[in-house]
Amino acid sequence: MSWYLLAAIPVFGVLILVHEFGHFVTAKWAGIRVDEFALGFPPRLLSFKRGETTYSLNALPIGGYVRMPGENGETTDENGNYDDRTFAAKSPGKRAIVLLAGVTMNILLAVFCFTAAEVVGQVNFYSYAGTVVKDSPAAVADMKPHDHIISVNGHPTKTFPDVVNEVGTIINAAPKDAKTAPITIIVQHAGSSEQVTLTVNAIVKPEKDQGHLGITSDDTHTFVTRVPIWQAPIKGVQDIGNVVGGTVSGVAQVIAGKLPFNQAVMGPVGIVSTTGEVASSVPVIGWYWMFFLVGALSVSLAIVNLLPIPALDGGRVLFIGIEVLRRGKRISPEREGIVNLVGMAALLFLMLLVTINDVGNLFHH
């Protein structure tokens, strides 16, 4: 999978490019001077200047920025003269539009990706056994590769996820001290028309990377489900709602102590690993999950940037809100700059902790 990890580079690039382009184009619309449009963080790899703007590609592909004068509230140039092309010189409405444009572009990217995912379709696996691990419960019960699994404990199974769900239900109902759980599985061996009843003693608590039965899905028995192209955008918007709902649910579980923090949060290292796994599966299961992953990451980036934390877009919008509530009285540029600096330091520290957590999860995995 090592080469597939490189897929994270274009994924990060698209997410950052779309977000920063939103800031860039609205800043130009608002009449704000853009000094630099950068992908990644320094050190700088290459750059060129067109007009008044420098376009840069930097070495650390974990972010980007659109550098504008007056981002911390300054309305004067380097000589102390009023400059109406600074960010701070614009009306609260225009500044808010520029700040929220990045999040808006990420949402639009998510709609596009989810729509594309629904159009290309999701590869589904019929209820066939692929690999049967040697000496596993399924192998001991005489299940063979390419067996068609007709039912599990009397419940018909059409897809492999049906098998997984039925087995999971049985495992969850097993006594806490049980090591195995007997499951009645009806199969049809490859090349045979007869159905055979097997009793599989599923492992209740298997080791990591081992299933309860010891089988995988069969990638030679698949079908694709697609959404008609005229319905795909609607489904794409619904997918955004599902991702947001799942994110909120995950945060609630962490707060309630039902989900460990290290399992709920994923940083750049975790994203690279996940992207590599999804990219490596494209030849087998198609592009659905790659499009879905990019869409989900774009939604997550939008959510994070909306948080009212200094240095993030949401934090800067909060300053504008305070200014409006104070009837145009602004927080001093010095104080706003200090708050944003502290916020950035806190975010970098948090990113460091998340990265350490990601690396730990990789080694633990």
Which residue is associated with the tokens 């609607």? 234
* Cα angle, residue 179 at apex, residues 178 and 181 outer, rounded to 5°: 75
Q: Spell out the SS3 assignment of the chain.
A: CHHHHHHHHHHHHHHHHHHHHHHHHHHHHHCCCCCEEEEEEEEEEEEEEECCEEEEEEEEEEEEEEECCCCCCCCECCCCCECCCCHHHCCHHHHHHHHHHHHHHHHHHHHHHHHHHHHHCEEEEECEEEEECCCCHHHHCCCCCCCEEEEECCEECCEHHHHHHHHHHHHHHCCCCCCEEEEEEEEECCCCCCCEEEEEEEECCCCCCCCCCCEEECCCCEEEECCCCCCHHHHHHHHHHHHHHHHHHHHHHHHCCCCCHHHHCCCHHHHHHHHHHHHHHHHHHCCHHHHHHHHHHHHHHHHHHHCCCCCCHHHHHHHHHHHHHCCCCCCCHHHHHHHHHHHHHHHHHHHHHHHHHHHHHHHHC
Q: What single-letter amino acid sits at 317?
A: V
Residues 6 or more apart whose Cβ sits within 8 Å of residue 310: 316, 339, 340, 342, 343, 344, 346
Per-residue confidence of the chain (365 residues) as pLDDT tens digits? 577 778 888 898 899 999 999 999 999 999 999 999 999 888 899 999 999 999 999 988 778 899 998 887 777 777 778 888 999 889 999 999 999 999 999 999 999 999 999 999 988 999 999 999 988 999 999 999 999 999 999 999 999 999 999 999 999 888 888 888 999 999 999 888 899 999 999 988 887 667 889 999 998 888 888 888 888 999 888 989 888 888 777 767 767 666 665 566 666 777 788 888 888 888 878 899 999 999 999 999 998 889 888 878 898 899 889 888 888 787 777 777 787 777 778 777 777 766 666 566 655 55
Q: Spell out the SS3 assignment of 257-285.
A: CCCCHHHHCCCHHHHHHHHHHHHHHHHHH
- State phi, psi for 203 to the nearest 5 degrees: -80, 125
201 with 181: CB under 8 angstroms?
A: yes
Residue range(s) occupied by CATH 2.30.42.10 in the chain: 124-225
pLDDT of residue 340: 73
pLDDT of residue 119: 92
Cis? peptide before 283, omega within 30° of 0: no
pLDDT of residue 104: 96
Q: What single-letter amino acid sits at 153?
A: N
Which residue is associated with the tokens 């879905």? 292
Residue 144 Cα distances to 169, 226, 304, angstroms: 23, 31, 47
- Beta pairing partners, 223: 124
pLDDT of residue 341: 79
CATH annotation of 124-225 = 2.30.42.10
pLDDT of residue 294: 94
Whole-number Å distance between alpha carbons of 62 and 56: 14
Which residue is associated with the tokens 């009843």? 197
